[in-house]
């Protein structure tokens, strides 16, 4: 394996390079199969140990998906998907696992088979597994769409009621999500039942068909969606209470340091100034200004503290602005909870240092036995360390606020600056 990885591409002809690309693809699939076996074995060992310890059935395996996600450097949601994938392959779909192990199936195509058979009883799932993958020759030349379609057809033939019931329950998964796009744009996705989705699209399309004002069809549809959802004209400036974090030098002095929108990421200085200028200059929008004090050397927000058991609104907002997204390493989900790293019940203070912004899943995962969370100030930067039940530790640092860092502080000046900003915060 290592001989295949350790070579100089310049010394290999085109045919040799194609051959190595194919070999490495098979190696990736084989590694995915081995990883699935290990994940299933970990799941079995953990549940067996917890059963021997008298832990109730409903609590066994709690937090394991997050632990798997951390090991794979993925979010807890991705860790949960991989855990379910591994269980299905190892315990219920041996032919799919064998095809993955031999490199005939990619990890994604194996995932499609697991997903499309998830609604079936175990025996029917094994039948689908055999029909699809018992003869590896039948998989040759099939792409993602073909494999997915064949699996759907077999599932419907084996248990049409289960497939129909899954479709009926799918409406419970309707949701709205947002993710960053290039050039200070964002993708907003709405998962709807097909009838509602078609209706929404038809309404937007109708607006585009009856509007002729120089905008493209896509622009009219996007603007109409904004107006229908927000109740505001699409050209009205957005109130900058969306927490646009920007330095005074960028705002007032023409500096080029990017600003930051929490949960989205950095945006160019000129774009940030344009947003603020539009909001301030339009009576339909109200802009507010909140002063944030950053550590002069590290760029981190300085501390705040409270004697309350729950985080006060201002302190929770402070932590959310500091952390930006969930502080569990590799997660990056939106913050839903403000959590005590050292629990309040064990004398953990309600402070910025002991506080973490977490998504809901990560907050619940850390309550499982064996999980420990520790926070510390590392040279002026808030650092969170998560230790899993196996003793592995992962860390994350709060992202620095916009603005240049000063590296020439003396020790006295550094302490004075922290004291002043801490008092002001």
Note every long-range contact of 203-207, with CB atoms under 8 Å and residues 24 or more positions apart, other chains counting.
203/228
Domain end position, chosen among 131, 152, 170: 170
Stretch 240-266: mean pLDDT, rounded? 71
How far apart, in whole angstroms, are the C-alpha atoms of residue 403 and residue 301? 12
Instruction: Evaluate whether 309 touches 344 at the Cβ level (below 8 Å).
Output: yes
Q: At what angle do helices 14-52 and 64-71 cross, to 10 degrees?
A: 150
- 22 with 130, same domain? yes
- 34 with 87, same domain? yes
Query: What is the structure's pLDDT at 101?
Result: 97
pLDDT tens-digit map of 98-146: 999 999 999 999 999 999 999 999 999 999 999 999 999 999 999 999 9
Instruction: Evaluate whether 105 touches 29 at the Cβ level (below 8 Å).
Output: yes
What does the block give as tokens for 181?
């796009």
- 226 with 246, same domain? no
Of residues 415 and 60, the one with the higher pLDDT is: 60
Query: What is the structure's pLDDT at 422?
Result: 44
Structural domain includes residue 50 = no
Distances (CA, A) of 12 to 1, 5, 28, 179, 368: 17, 13, 21, 41, 52
- 17 with 132, same domain? yes
- 164 with 201, same domain? no
How far apart, in whole angstroms, are the C-alpha atoms of residue 376 and residue 295? 15
| The pLDDT of residue 152 is above 90 | yes
Structural domain includes residue 9 = yes
How many other CB atoms sit within 10 Å of the CB of residue 163?
17
| The pLDDT of residue 89 is above 50 | yes
pLDDT tens-digit map of 271-305: 888 777 777 666 666 666 666 666 666 666 655 55
- 354 with 213, same domain? no
- 322 with 377, same domain? yes
CA dihedral 14, 20, 22, 25 (to 10 degrees): -140
Q: What is the mean pLDDT of the chain?
A: 85
The H-or-E segment that residue 409 falls in is none
- 214 with 363, same domain? no
- 21 with 161, same domain? yes
Classify burial at 195, counting beta carbons within 10 Å of its beta carbon; exposed 0-12, middle 13-18, buried 19 or more: exposed
Query: What is the structure's pLDDT at 346?
Result: 85
Query: What is the structure's pLDDT at 400?
Result: 77
**What proportion of the chain, given as a percentage, has pLDDT over 70?**
83
Structural domain includes residue 298 = no
Structural domain includes residue 296 = no
Query: What is the structure's pLDDT at 292?
Result: 61
- Residue span of the structural domain in which 153 resides: 2-44+59-170
Structural domain includes residue 299 = no
Global pTM reads 0.74
DSSP 295-357: -TTT-PBPP-EESSSSPPHHHHHHHHHHH-S--STTT-PPP-EEEESS-GGGT--EETTTEEE
| The pLDDT of residue 345 is above 90 | no
Of residues 421 and 337, the one with the higher pLDDT is: 337
Quickly tell me which residue has 């509602």 as its tokens: 196
- 30 with 150, same domain? yes
pLDDT band of residue 425 (cuts 50, 70, 90) is: very low
- 274 with 181, same domain? no
């Amino acid at each position: 394996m290592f001989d295949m990885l350790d070579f100089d591409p310049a010394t290999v002809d085109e045919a040799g390079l194609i051959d190595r690309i194919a070999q490495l693809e098979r190696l990736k699939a084989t590694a995915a199969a081995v990883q699935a076996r290990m994940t299933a074995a970990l799941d079995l060992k953990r549940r067996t140990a917890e059963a021997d310890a008298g832990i109730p059935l409903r609590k066994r395996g709690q937090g394991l998906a997050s632990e798997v996600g951390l090991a794979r450097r993925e979010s807890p949601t991705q860790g949960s998907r991989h855990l379910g994938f591994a269980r299905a392959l190892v315990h219920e779909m041996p032919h799919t696992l064998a095809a993955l192990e031999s490199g005939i199936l990619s990890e994604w195509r194996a995932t499609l088979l697991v997903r499309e058979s998830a609604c079936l009883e175990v025996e029917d799932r094994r039948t689908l597994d055999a029909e699809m993958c018992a003869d590896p020759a039948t998989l040759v030349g099939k792409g993602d769409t073909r494999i997915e379609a064949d699996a759907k057809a077999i599932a419907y033939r084996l248990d049409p009621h289960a497939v129909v019931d899954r479709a009926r329950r799918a409406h419970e998964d309707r949701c709205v999500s947002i993710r960053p796009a290039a050039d200070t744009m964002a993708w907003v996705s709405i998962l709807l039942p097909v009838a509602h989705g078609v209706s929404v699209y038809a309404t937007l399309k109708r607006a585009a068909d009856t509007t002729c004002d120089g905008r493209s069809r896509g622009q009219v549809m996007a603007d109409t969606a904004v107006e229908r959802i927000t109740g505001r004209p699409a050209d009205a400036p957005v109130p900058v209470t969306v927490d646009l974090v920007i330095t005074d030098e960028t705002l007032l002095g023409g500096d080029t340091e990017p600003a930051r929108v929490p949960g989205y990421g950095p945006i160019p200085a000129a774009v940030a100034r344009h947003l603020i200028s539009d909001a301030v200059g339009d009576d339909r929008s109200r802009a507010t200004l909140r002063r944030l004090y950053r550590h002069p050397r590290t760029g981190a927000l300085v501390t705040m503290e409270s004697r309350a058991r729950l985080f006060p609104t201002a302190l929770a907002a402070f932590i959310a602005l500091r952390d930006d997204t969930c502080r569990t390493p590799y997660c990056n989900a939106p913050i839903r909870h403000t959590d005590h790293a050292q629990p309040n019940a064990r004398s953990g203070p309600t402070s910025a240092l002991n506080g973490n912004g977490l998504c809901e899943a990560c907050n619940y995962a850390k309550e499982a036995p064996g999980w420990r969370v520790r926070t510390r100030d590392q040279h002026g930067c808030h650092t969170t360390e998560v230790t899993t039940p196996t003793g592995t530790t992962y860390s994350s640092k709060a992202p620095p606020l916009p603005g240049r860092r000063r590296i020439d502080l003396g020790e006295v000046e550094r302490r004075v600056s922290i004291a002043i900003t801490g008092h002001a915060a």
